[in-house]
Amino acid sequence: MPEYPAQLQLEGVEGEVRLEVMIDEQGAVTILSVISATHNEFVQPARQAVSRWRFEPPTRDGVPVRARYVQPIPFRLQ
């Protein structure tokens, strides 16, 4: 999970970042672009978190392939 920006947490602000990502044949993530963000302060923590993620590689006919998709990253207060 991404680190919540302290000031936004104190202010009770929630939001979301949507990132366009590429998953390669080994399941590694490359961030291609920021599609949207409710607050700019959420972008860097979202990018840092997603860059550490690993996925099960996507497959086509049983063979690992690259895939591009949009990953929403919610920032919700508990």
Which residue range is the domain that position 39 belongs to?
A: 6-75
Is 42 within a domain?
yes
The pTM for the full model equals 0.89
Number of domains in the chain: 1
Phi, psi of 59 (to 5 degrees): -130, 155
pLDDT score at 78:
85
Is 68 within a domain?
yes
Q: pLDDT by residue (tens digit) across 15-64?
A: 999 999 999 999 999 999 999 999 999 999 999 999 999 999 999 999 99
Is 25 within a domain?
yes
Which CATH number goes with the domain that contains 59?
A: 3.30.2420.10
Is 1 within a domain?
no
pLDDT at 1 over 90: no
Phi, psi of 13 (to 5 degrees): -90, 130
pLDDT score at 40:
97
Per-residue exposure over 14-53, b if at least 16 CB sit within 10 Å of its own CB, e if not: ebebebebebeeeeebeeeeeeebbbebbbebbeeebeee
Is 37 within a domain?
yes
